[in-house]
Amino acid sequence: MRHLDMVGGGITATTGRTLDQHATDPVPAAAHLPEAAANLRHLRTELLLAVDRLRTLLINEDDLHGTTSTVAGPVETIIELALEYRYARTWIDTLIDDEARAAYAQTHPGQTVRRRDVNPGDTVLVVLPHTDSCRRQNLAGHTTRIRVGTSDTALRPPGSGNPLRLSHADTGIYRDPTEDRLYVLNTEADETADAGH
């Protein structure tokens, strides 16, 4: 059963921009929001599963017949996951509250974006996002061809003879949380530039 992306919906309701629109904004805090949301989604799912396991254990009365660690172990797991969840949630709040992100969003309307599905092994043309990693390597905003891997991508930076491997998030590859498929984003500006060539 497909589930709703409550994390993405919450970010959209708070900022007035979808995660896809944030991904194309040339501000690091905005560019990091899709990855931060994916991390929070993952931790939220793990926390829900851990709580459900504890609940099942208590309903089945396993706590009454096992050792004291029967309950203590799952409770410790829940505590650890709750801490990780809190840090992930704080990171999203920090990105949303970022002054440069908010200022850019106020002066620039969100771009119209389209998703295009990709698969591991595909070679695709992307505009590299403005993540901190891409900015440090002077790659942010450049259009380049990348080869999609299962968890990262390979590319040859402009003017370099050496290949480089970057994470999906640093090369504009995103995972749809409801359909579990990879995609890249195209803006109207990207499509206009492609049509001109």
- The domain total for the chain is 2
Q: Are residues 82 and 26 in the same domain?
A: yes
Q: Are residues 166 and 129 in the same domain?
A: yes
- Of 112, 113, 93, 96, nearest in space to 104 by CA: 96
Q: Are residues 99 and 126 in the same domain?
A: no
Asked whether the predicted pLDDT for residue 16 surpasses 60, the reply is yes
CB proximity list for 183: less than 8 A, separation 6 or greater: 115, 116, 117, 118, 173, 174, 175, 176
Domain boundary among 87, 105, 123: 105
pLDDT digits (tens, 9 = 90+) for 110-132: 889 999 999 999 999 999 999 99
Residue 90 lies in a domain: yes
pLDDT digits (tens, 9 = 90+) for 69-122: 788 889 999 999 999 999 999 999 999 999 999 999 999 998 899 999 999 999
Task: Specify the pTM.
Answer: 0.85
Share of the chain above pLDDT 70, in %: 93
Asked whether the predicted pLDDT for residue 194 surpasses 90, the reply is no
Q: Are residues 101 and 177 in the same domain?
A: no
Q: Are residues 120 and 154 in the same domain?
A: yes
Structural domain for 154, as ranges: 112-195
Residue 167 lies in a domain: yes
Q: Are residues 135 and 175 in the same domain?
A: yes
Q: Are residues 92 and 122 in the same domain?
A: no
Mean pLDDT, range 12-17, rounded to an integer: 94
The total number of residues shown for the chain amounts to: 197
Residue 1 lies in a domain: no
Per-residue confidence (pLDDT) for residue 162, from 0 to 100 = 81
CB 28, CB 99: distance < 8 Å = no
